[in-house]
């Protein structure tokens, strides 16, 4: 009589690993994610929806002004807005 691999423990129940894998997969299916949206985020959403029509109208007016050549950029206002930003960058 010939006995092979006497120290082989994994061969005792080869189906146990398959059973464990199926149980683990069903546990993952039972888990759920939950998301909570803050009141501030909800308020931002409603205000962005409300101002959407006004913004679209403003964009269309700008497009028309640019295409017709009547849109003029005020360099002074742009410079006023850029100076504080550029001043911070240079001091760093």
Residues 6+ apart with CB under 8 A from 65: 71
For 36-50, the pLDDT digits (tens) are 999 999 998 888 777
pTM of the complete model: 0.36
**Per-domain boundaries in the chain:** 39-91
Q: Is the pLDDT of residue 69 over 90?
A: yes
Please, which pLDDT band fits residue 25 given cuts at 50, 70 and 90? low
CB atoms within 10 A of CB 2: 3
Of residues 32 and 81, which shows the higher confidence score?
Answer: 81
CB atoms within 10 A of CB 87: 9
Q: Is the pLDDT of residue 27 over 70?
A: no
């Amino acid at each position: 009589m010939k006995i092979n691999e006497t120290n082989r423990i994994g061969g005792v129940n080869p189906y146990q690993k398959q059973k464990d894998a199926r149980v683990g997969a069903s546990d993952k299916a039972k888990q759920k994610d939950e998301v909570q949206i803050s009141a501030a985020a909800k308020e931002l959403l409603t205000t962005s929806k409300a101002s959407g029509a006004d913004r679209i109208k403003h964009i269309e007016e700008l497009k028309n002004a640019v295409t017709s050549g009547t849109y003029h950029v005020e360099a002074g206002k742009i410079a006023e807005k850029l100076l504080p930003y550029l001043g911070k960058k240079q001091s760093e």
